[in-house]
Amino acid sequence: MSKIVFVGSNHAGTAAINTVLDNYKDNEVVVFDRNSNISFLGCGMALWIGNVIDGPEGLFYSSKDKMEAKGAKVHMETEIEDIDFENKIITGKNKNGEEIKESYDKLILATGSLPISPNIPGKDLENVQFVKLYQDAAQTIERLKNPDIKKITVIGAGYIGVELAEAFKRHGKSVTLLDLASTCLERYYDEPFTKMMEQNLLDNGIDLRFGEKVVELKGNGKVEKVVTDKGEIDTDMVVLAIGFLPNTSIGKGKIETIGNGAFKVNLKGETSVKDVYAIGDCATIYDNSKDQTSYIALASNAVRTGIVAAHNACGTELESIGVQGSNGISIYGLNMVSTGLTVNTAKMFGFDPEYTEYEDSQKPAFMKHDNNNVKVRIVYDKKTRRVLGAQMASKQDISMGIHMFSLAIQEKVTIDKLRLLDLFFLPHFNQPYNYITMAALTAK
């Protein structure tokens, strides 16, 4: 029997905790979390804020009570003040100021990430905020009820920023989406796809301000203007959605990290400190598309790393098979998914990328109902021919298609093998020469 202590209980932590509780019932499990809730699905925040779903209840899939019913001891709203890695003792302080000490045999860190706080004057003005936690979303919804908040500026045009822009527009607000980058979603898509999303946002009344650097936020107590290097934007509320950094101060100087501060782990989730594991957004992960250790903060990755580390902490050897960073977004009915590398990121990581692109209706033309065009781009290495990434966009639900490309990257499948891949045909679903087959066939 081992005593396993967890720090953090959101996606990665919850997956790891449940893996231990469900499969290794003889172990003692102790959980620390600084928050007042467990397992909040942050990826559903924009749906809640935009009134697409009725409320936040369905965004939680675990709780303190559920974990304790399985035998865990859970300390909520408790800040970790010290970890003595040599003597294996963790010290925390709860909301009542009481000190809590726990020894451990194995320690699993699931401390997640923190939103990037830009160093700009005025960021502490009222109605300037982040949207990451349940409490942030609840505060945002409360502010949207204020009739004086008519104009909202979202700074950061990644997935969260774009989703929030749509959510605020659903409330009838005037929305500006601003980013230093030249477009939106550029980490995940090449230009033909980012342009599709840009046009989609413009068509739905969202003001786009790309290639602008925020210099200052101005206001008398409350934020009133966003000042950029190209002008000023009147605003009543600002949401900072610039990105996230791993939350790793708890092990600073003691656990090996990579450049951005994430705990460096091996395929078992082990850190450089014996009997200490790190999972989820605070840790690295192996990226099969780059063939190297990387940092990819996604909920799906968090769950997988939690499962792997939990088994290893309990004595069952299990290695991660790596990830491809598969992701997706749906905005005003435009569905976009991607996995692996774009042409631009492939160049950044030393590949000589080529791509093939194809667009066609998903089903034969005689299928008049629910039949929209699908655009696909497959990125592959010019020398080895292996698939490096893929991007797809459609008004159809094309989400399952990206999983095939994810597996192709993982297994180092070549673009040539995709040409004759056994893809079945039925008019209800696709064409005899479907967009994936045609993209592969027309590759150089």
Report the side by side order of strands in the sheet with 78-84.
Answer: 78-84, 89-94, 99-103
- Could you confirm whether 314 is annotated as catalytic? no
Which tokens sit at 344?
């631009």
User: For residue 394, what are the CA distances in angstroms to 52, 203, 242, 333, 336?
Assistant: 20, 16, 27, 8, 7
SS3 letters across 115-179: ECCCCCCCCCCECEECCCCHHHHHHHHHHHCCCCCCEEEEECCCHHHHHHHHHHHHCCCEEEEEE
Strands 151-155 and 113-115: unpaired
Tell me the two tokens of residue 222.
Answer: 């409350």
Distance CA 156, CA 179 (A): 5
Q: Which are the contacts of 173, defined by CB distance < 8 A and separation ≥ 6?
A: 144, 149, 150, 151, 152
* The two three-digit tokens of residue 15, written as one number: 């997956």
Tell me how far apart the alpha carbons of residues 257 and 253 are, in angstroms, rounded to a whole number: 9
Identity (one letter) of the amino acid at 35? N
Examine the residue annotation and report whether 75 is marked as an active-site residue of this protein.
Answer: no
Positions marked active-site: 11, 43
